[in-house]
Chain A
Amino acid sequence: MVHKVVVANRRAAAARVIRALRGLGIRSVALYSDADADAPYLAEADEAVRVGPAPAAASYLNRDAVIEAARSVGADAVHPGYGFLAEDPAFAERVELEIGRFIGPSPSWIARMGHKPRARALMARHGLAVGGGSEPLGDDDAALFLEAERVGYPLIVKPALGGGGIGMVVVRHAGELAAAARRARSTVRRAFGNDAIYLERLVERPRHIELQIVADRHGTVRTLFERDCSLQRRHQKLIEEGPAPAIDRAALDALTGRVAAVLADIGYDSIGTVETLLDADGNFRFIEMNTRLQVEHGVTEAITGVDLVATQIRIAAGERLADLLPTTIAATGHAIEARVCAEDPDRFLPSTGVLEVFRPPAGPGVRIETGFAEGNAVTPHYDSLLAKVIAHGDTRAQAIARLDAALAGFAVAGVHSNIPALRRALASPAFQAGRVHTGLLAEIGEHQA
């Protein structure tokens, strides 16, 4: 077992991991930058250590500072949360070498899955369907145009390393390609320190369906159902739910079985998420695998009753899935999560300021994950997430009603919030009928305007 874990993250992600550690009787150490010195998660941990100034590159993304903090408190493990260093193989290797356990998969998995074109090739070799795509491309524009012709338009330019929807640019025809590639490279160089990009054939109006994987270090792989994360803006998820509504269950079950078999075959050894796109013809295509806790893990926890974070920690400590999870796990009811962000609800522009009012709601079947308290400042340094609201109900309709009531009762003042946009989406006939796709949120917004 591990005894003292540094949580290398902030706000909601840190609070969630600290809660899991407390539940397991493991000592927790919170890290904070100067912009988070007022955050409530610091008091929830056993210790708190300043990791640097506000900019992420100088604090939560600073490998040396995080390792030094872990050493200074005598920690024997690091939990990276999600985002920041969660998928940085060099960081994970340093943790295992200099501190102890990295709470995630064996570091080699982060490198293998973190390189998106290579992960696609690996999955394709094991028989999973992948969409048309290219190898990673360097600076050679001639090669770029040749590959684009081969992949076909419309296509999407993506960073080879990285995630979170950053640096993804849609290209409808060859005339847009050079500028899009330039823009994507410059974005991803800054965000991920590596400007390799690749091309993927664009799937029009797809659904984003992802599978929750739970695997241990002894060769057991299980899946814990799917999440539908189709409601997105700027390639970033805003509303996630499980089980996926109005879907071909037999096809999904077949995919799930195949994915579990592939991951067992290649020996994946932690929790993770396999992301796929489902096109209008009912075909699933692998897009990537995230080797970490997912922001929207609470949806799966709500329908299965499994504490994914505690499970992840115990797996990293070497425990067996057979001892951690019941033999059969059913999906009970329906859960939907909405990400409440500091953004204006029409253009989704970020909004900073002091949370003069911040009163998350409570109600039957409603769970709140936040890292903020009234009076805290929302700064431009990090993403705009204020809170996740997860509603669980016996049926999808009940989950929608509970989520909407919770959002209606969520008082936020001092910054703009996207709550009106979230409620508009929940109220839309397409969403209510389960006719979701990744362009739906934009369509609802245009309809409104």
Chain B
Amino acid sequence: MSRIDIPSAVAGTVWQITADAGAQVGAGDILMILESMKLEIEVSAPQAGTLRLAVAEGQVVSVGDILATLDPA
């Protein structure tokens, strides 16, 4: 597996970051919750890896903006 960038599927705001930067996460773990159009949108890890965050809570994001990067273990 290689390093993988996680892009935002929506335009909105980073509401809550639920995983710690540098943490080892598993595939499917919830990393953060975005808010757009009064909805909360969970962003989960597509594979296992070490989490690097590219955004902070409250930050406004557009479609395609990189939210986080996973480095394979």
Interface residue range, chain B: 10 to 19
**Partner-contacting stretch, out of A93-101, A118-126, A379-387:** A379-387
A383-B40 in contact (CB<8A): no
What residues of chain A lie closer than 8 Å to B15, measured between beta carbons? 190
Shortest CB–CB separation between residue A34 and chain B, in angstroms?
15
Shortest CB–CB separation between residue A378 and chain B, in angstroms?
8
- Main secondary structure on A side of the interface with B: loop
Binary contact track A348-361/B, C-beta < 8 Å → 1, others 0 = 01111000000000
- A187: CB under 8 A from chain B? yes
The answer, among B11, B37, B41, for a CB contact under 8 Å with A383, is B37
- B36: CB under 8 A from chain A? yes
Q: Complex formed: what's the CA distance from A384 to B10 in Å?
A: 12
Max chain B Cβ within 10 angstroms of own Cβ: one of A164, A166, A342, A350: A350
What residues of chain B lie closer than 8 Å to A352, measured between beta carbons? 10-11, 36-37, 63
A349-B38 in contact (CB<8A): no
A349 touching B11 in the complex, CB below 8 Å, given contacts A186-B16, A380-B36 = no
Shortest CB–CB separation between residue A376 and chain B, in angstroms?
15
Shortest CB–CB separation between residue B33 and chain A, in angstroms?
9
B37-A187 in contact (CB<8A): no
B37-A384 in contact (CB<8A): yes
- A234: CB under 8 A from chain B? yes
- B49: CB under 8 A from chain A? no
The answer, among B10, B13, B38, for a CB contact under 8 Å with A166, is B38
The answer, among B9, B11, B16, B40, for a CB contact under 8 Å with A380, is B11
A350-B10 in contact (CB<8A): yes
Binary contact track B12-44/A, C-beta < 8 Å → 1, others 0 = 110110000000000000000001111111000
Q: Complex formed: what's the CA distance from A331 to B1 in Å?
A: 62
B39-A234 in contact (CB<8A): yes
B23-73: which residues lie under 8 A (CB-CB) from chain A?
35-41, 63
A350 touching B36 in the complex, CB below 8 Å, given contacts A380-B10, A380-B11 = yes
Shortest CB–CB separation between residue A142 and chain B, in angstroms?
24
Shortest CB–CB separation between residue B26 and chain A, in angstroms?
16
Binary contact track A327-353/B, C-beta < 8 Å → 1, others 0 = 000000000000000100000011110
Q: Which residue of A lies closest to B62 (CB)?
A: A352
What residues of chain A lie closer than 8 Å to B40, measured between beta carbons? 187
30 A–B contact pairs at CB < 8 A?
A: A164-B38, A166-B38, A187-B40, A190-B15, A191-B38, A234-B39, A342-B37, A349-B9, A350-B10, A350-B12, A350-B36, A350-B37, A350-B39, A350-B41, A351-B10, A352-B36, A352-B63, A380-B10, A380-B11, A380-B13, A380-B35, A380-B36, A380-B37, A381-B37, A382-B37, A382-B38, A383-B38, A384-B37, A384-B38, A384-B39
Residues of B with Cβ closer than 8 Å to A? 9-13, 15-16, 35-41, 63
Residues of A with Cβ closer than 8 Å to B? 164, 166, 186-187, 190-191, 234, 342, 349-352, 380-384
Interface contacts beyond A187-B40, A234-B39, A349-B10: sample of 16 additional A-B pairs, CB < 8 Å, sorted by A? A164-B38, A186-B16, A350-B10, A350-B37, A350-B39, A352-B10, A352-B11, A380-B10, A380-B11, A380-B36, A381-B37, A382-B38, A383-B37, A384-B37, A384-B38, A384-B39
